[in-house]
Structure 1
């Protein structure tokens, strides 16, 4: 294999890795507007209830548990029908959070499986593959310590989460490039070429199959989120004459606009 051919193979593999690791059409993005529904709040779901909170906007904090509602730390009067709706919202949030955690873990697993596959193809090094596994363990630990405890913060996920995967890929890139050049100049490039031919198609099939299954799981979650939005829309409660909005429509690419809105018209 020539130096040019080796560099081309390396470039294609790294490009493939980038797609697997971060393309929203391959694995669901971990963002609050994944379902074209957004929340301007951070969310905490635990045994004490459901908290929604943010640094600015009105209201800044919403809490509900067992049919009771508190807004900006003031207990609100709600109807019996609204108390039932609030219980359904709380139950839905409790059901949803572990499922979101599962999607996050699988999305991360797919991305790191792709990275590990590329590293193995390009280097044939078990040591370098183990390095990828350390990055995977860190990312999964991050998920378990946040989503896994019922906490979704705007600053925790989205770009902040994706950067963990991207950083792992970038840190491996320099090492991969050096490995390719070493194999070329030591006459071992044919081994890399053979590994690529043997592994690449199988890796693509496995990643695509898992990604398709993950997309279906994410779609099911979106159905549940829309059901919660419908329950919210049915609330009779008004804050200063306006509906209480915790979830709102947010077409992809319009999340910033949705965050700037605080309350909808009644």
Structure 2
């Protein structure tokens, strides 16, 4: 595709996704030509972030399986106005009616010290050292485009990585002394279990997701700041949900976080 046409397509995709999210309008078809490479997908995401003009409270990290262009994870922004502490009463989290909607049980890491913006390689220990808090949580994945997960990671990346919210649950005390990769994690929908899994099956675990994000953002030229959250990936899978569903995520039978699902 010629450079001018490519740039026009990037702008069109970003504009239409942002517009659809603002108006809560479903998109039957992808709003343009699908990205041919991850760099083009992130260019669409960057353009959409600029158009949305919203405060970013953190970043979601998801799996690319099988890997593409040497990448086995992807990232997208989590906006502050869709980031909530769980509280005592399950909060209603919104999804796009007619689009895609899912809930995911995830370990959440808070950045305690800003990564060096010029550093593009981290060891797992270096990445972990930049984290100051670990919580359990639920990521809400939703997009106006119902087929967002059906066309490869580039399409997912292009619409904010398919994120539409984050529920921050209880803190994990003494997390530096625990092997979180061995914790059984379960997501229930309306009281029915969707299965149990551990982060040991997720590449190099939650802190590996932080390492990936630090390296990716240095490459993209995006500064990460203390206090931002990293939603590290769906431990027990991506589970589609309906409006009105009641969601609970249970971690090692000791910590739980819950929410309900409502229309955007």
Same fold at TM > 0.5: no
**Higher relative contact order, chain-length normalized (CA < 8 Å, sep 6+):** 1
> Which has more radius of gyration?
1
TM-score when normalising by structure 1: 0.23
TM-score when normalising by structure 2: 0.23
Q: Which has the higher helix share?
A: 1
